[in-house]
């Protein structure tokens, strides 16, 4: 059992019969009141982020989450398909509701982590950064910095992001999969 003081970032616990992870926590004590732990928690099953205050008399069960490295194969009609790293014939599918936005910045055959709770896959952790090829972007025009010096680019996965003007079709760029933002150019075409 976890006390309210043990709810630190990264801790996974059971709240309202669902596994949650702590994103942030801070201890708060006001005059003449009992101390509380202010937290921001994320549901591992739905992805919803909640802000909750917990009292010192509350305790929580630690969630038994298993992590398994798997390979992302492809997605089709709302189903995302993965396979076991050691046994590629052992496949599993996950509905698109479980997949975060990071999935659209991940190439096929990439290694990801499946989070399992009670033997069932509840979430997929994608790599934080991904290197992707720019398949389509308008050509840069000299002096065209009225729009802040950015333009849209389509990546090899089909995702569209905003990139600086010097990025061209064929360049390989690094993308932060959690925010969907351009990070840097890795290789020039």
Would you state the pLDDT for residue 97?
79
- Residue length, the chain? 189
Fold match, 65-125 / 129-187: yes
100: helix, strand or coil: coil
Q: What is residue 162's predicted lDDT score, i.e. its pLDDT?
A: 92
**Fold assignment, 65-125:** OB fold (Dihydrolipoamide Acetyltransferase, E2P) (2.40.50)
User: How far apart are alpha carbons 189 and 187 in whole angstroms?
Assistant: 7
DSSP 8-state symbol, 94: E
| Buried b / exposed e along 31-66 (16+ C-beta atoms within 10 A) | eeeeebbebebbbbbeeeeeebebeeeeebeebeee
Q: How high is the pLDDT of residue 101?
A: 81
What average pLDDT does range 100-113 have in this prediction?
A: 88
Number of helices (H) and strands (E), helices first, in the chain? 0, 16
- CATH architecture of the domain 129-187 equals Beta Barrel (2.40)
- Residue 145 pLDDT: 56
Which pLDDT value is given to residue 43? 87
Mean pLDDT for the stretch of residues 24-33: 84
Q: What is the pTM of this model?
A: 0.76
Task: Give the chain's mean pLDDT.
Answer: 88
Report the topology of domain 2-62. SH3 type barrels. (2.30.30)
pLDDT for position 70: 94
> What integer is the mean pLDDT of 114-121?
88
Q: What is the mean pLDDT of residues 52-81?
A: 90
Residue 189 scores a pLDDT above 80 = no
Q: How many CB atoms lie within 10 A of CB 13?
A: 19
Q: Which two tokens stand for residue 173?
A: 């760029």
DSSP conformation letters of 119-169: TEEEEEEPPSEEEEEEEE-PPP-TT--TT-SEEEEEETTS-EEEEETT--T
pLDDT value, residue 178: 85
pLDDT at 78: 84
* Residues 135-172: tens digit of each pLDDT: 999 887 666 555 567 889 999 999 999 999 888 999 99
Strands 91-95 and 129-136 turn out to be unpaired
Q: Give domain limits for the chain.
A: 2-62, 65-125, 129-187
46, pLDDT greater than 80: no
If you average pLDDT over residues 22-45, what whole number do you get?
86
Least confident residue range of 48-52, 94-98, 177-181: 94-98
């Amino acid at each position: 059992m976890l006390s309210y003081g043990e709810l630190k970032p990264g801790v996974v616990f059971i709240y309202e019969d669902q596994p949650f992870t702590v994103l942030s926590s801070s201890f708060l004590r006001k005059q003449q009141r009992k101390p509380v732990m202010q937290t921001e928690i994320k549901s591992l099953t739905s992805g919803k982020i909640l802000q909750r205050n917990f009292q010192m008399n509350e305790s929580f069960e630690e969630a038994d989450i298993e992590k398994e490295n798997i390979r992302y194969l492809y997605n089709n009609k709302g189903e995302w398909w993965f396979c076991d790293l050691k046994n590629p014939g052992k496949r599993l599918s996950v509905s698109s509701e479980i997949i975060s936005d990071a999935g659209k910045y991940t190439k096929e055959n990439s290694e990801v982590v499946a989070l399992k709770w009670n033997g069932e896959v509840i979430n997929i952790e994608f790599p934080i950064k991904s290197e992707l090829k720019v398949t389509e972007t308008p050509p840069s025009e000299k002096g065209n910095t009225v729009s802040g010096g950015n333009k849209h680019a389509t990546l090899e996965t089909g995702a569209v992001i905003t990139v600086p003007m010097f990025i061209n079709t064929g360049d390989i760029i690094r993308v932060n999969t959690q925010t969907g933002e351009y990070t840097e150019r890795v290789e020039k075409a």
